[in-house]
DNA sequence: TCAAAATGAATCTAAATAGATTCAAAAGAT
DNA sequence: ATCTTTTGAATCTATTTAGATTCATTTTGA
């Protein structure tokens, strides 16, 4: 029978293109549409059929990234799970969607539509880190937004370092977690 | 008398322009030369007299940033000073030249000339962190390049966070140092 | 105050790019 | 095997941008 049900959001091929585009747009922000399409292995015409204008492309990517990161936030149970468990889940989920995470970090200001999932995104993180502070898990001599920024910096920076081959893919999540939580000073226990 | 001696490299006004351009190019990588010039408060014609082509602009900025960061590396005495002293000096100097630091991080791959001060830059940092590990200061369960990447991530990320108003300018150097060295977990004294 | 230098606004041409369309070939389904 | 859909290459026009120049105005310095 194979009833082709209506795809809920975007089908697999579309998502493949979106991820590839996110990566290409971050690596070469000034690439032309021609260069972009070649970079992800499709023709300019197909890219045009996918999105008619560059702005529509950015908006679509921003919307999609926002949706995915909303799921990331939700699945981490930031408001209920034990902070360190939520943090680990947060890192793992972001790692699964590195390209979209990095894209949204670089392009959230460029999305014309006020989707701005980013705003909700870092608000959710701020609230999470505040809760973690109140639970005695995170340092209280750094503001919650400060913790959010340190977290995102470590996340994005090490995703990028892995792309450049500076750190290994294996153990990346653990590296991020430990760098964020424990720092780089020789431990003294 | 006021003997106007020949400027060694670039005069003060040129440096002001270079810093402003570095910031504008990072904030809006796709800005046209018209938009760039307006963003830094000069006319398109003056920008043209400053550099005739966009590529020449990138190269000039990359060269200048490389020179400045070389001085930063040198003045920190990475190969002789006590590691934690050198680290503190490193943060302070980079903070003084945030715009150029961030610019070089974003654009080192775009510079046509193989100046690539970046290569020397992170090699110097790798060597520094290795020395710090051997001196028992930094963790040895993270590779030296890993330490470099965590350091740069924290540096760049928090510079950016300060620009966006997410963390305060006052105490920024201390925040970077502590986030990098100690992490964000509640300290156990 | 006056001459020299620097700047900005406007203009111009050539090149690059965006956006849109056509058509033939390839892929996929029946 | 045939029909349908998807894709890619090429083409086309309009717009944008880069690069370059001119000239009036402002700024600077002697």
pLDDT digits (tens, 9 = 90+) for A59-68: 999 999 999 9
Helix, coil or strand: residue A171: coil
pLDDT mean across residues, chain A: 92
- Provide the pLDDT for residue A31: 98
Higher per-residue pLDDT: A118 or A177: A177
Q: pTM, whole model, 2 decimals?
A: 0.92
- What is the pLDDT, as a whole number, of residue B5? 30
Q: CB of A79 within 8 A of CB of A127?
A: yes
What pLDDT does residue A112 have? 75
Determine the average pLDDT of the residues in A122-144: 97
Mean pLDDT to the nearest integer, A88-96: 98
Residue A77, both tokens: 């149970």
**Cβ B66 vs Cβ B123: under 8 Å:** no
| Residue B111: pLDDT over 90 | no
Q: Is A175 in CB contact (< 8 Å) with chain B?
A: yes
pLDDT higher at A169 or B113: A169
Least confident of A49-58, A122-131, B7-16, B166-175: B7-16
In whole angstroms, give the CA distance from residue A189 to residue B139: 13
Domains and CATH numbers, chain A: 12-182 (1.10.357.10)
pLDDT the model gives residue B10? 65
Is A136 in the B-facing interface, judged by CB distances under 8 Å? yes
Cβ neighbours of A137 in B, within 8 Å: 185-186
Q: What pLDDT does A86 receive?
A: 98
Task: Kindly report, residue by residue over A72-83, the tens digit of the pLDDT.
Answer: 999 999 999 999
| Lowest mean pLDDT segment, chosen from A118-122, B53-57, B151-155 | A118-122
Q: Measured from the CB, is B53 under 7 Å from any atom of strand C? A: no
Mean pLDDT in residue range A8-21: 83
Cα dihedral: A99, A104, A105, A108 (round 10): 160
Nucleotides of D under 7 A from a protein CB: 7-11, 16-22, 30
Please say if the pLDDT value at position A117 is more than 80: no
- From A106's Cα to the closest Cα of chain B, the distance in A is 10
Mutate to test the interface with B, among A149, A156, A173 (most CBs of B within 10 A): A149
User: Quick check: helix, strand or coil at residue A142?
Assistant: coil
Higher pLDDT, B13 or B113: B13
For A166, counting Cβ atoms within 10 Å of its Cβ (0-12 exposed, 13-18 middle, 19+ buried), the class is: middle
Residue-level pLDDT at B6: 30
Q: What is the pLDDT of residues B31-76, one digit of tens each?
A: 999 999 999 999 999 999 999 999 999 999 999 999 999 999 999 9
Torsion of CA B56, B57, B59, B61, to 10 degrees: 160
């Amino acid at each position: 029978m194979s009833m082709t049900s209506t795809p809920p959001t975007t089908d697999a091929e579309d998502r493949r293109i979106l991820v590839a585009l996110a990566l290409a747009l971050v690596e070469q922000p000034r690439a032309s549409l021609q260069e972009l399409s070649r970079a992800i292995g499709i023709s300019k015409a197909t890219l045009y059929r996918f999105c008619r204008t560059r702005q529509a492309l950015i908006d679509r990517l921003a919307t999609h990234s926002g949706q995915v990161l909303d799921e990331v936030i939700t699945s981490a149970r930031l408001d209920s799970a034990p902070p360190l468990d939520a943090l680990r889940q947060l890192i793992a989920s972001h790692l699964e969607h590195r390209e979209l995470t990095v894209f949204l970090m670089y392009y959230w200001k460029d999305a014309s539509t006020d989707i701005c999932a980013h705003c909700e995104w870092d608000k959710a993180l701020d609230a999470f880190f505040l809760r973690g502070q109140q639970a005695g898990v995170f340092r209280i001599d750094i503001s919650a937004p400060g913790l959010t920024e340190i977290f995102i910096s470590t996340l994005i920076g090490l995703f990028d370092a892995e792309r450049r081959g500076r750190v290994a893919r294996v153990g990346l999540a653990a590296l991020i977690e430990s760098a964020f939580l424990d720092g780089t000073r020789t431990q003294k226990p």
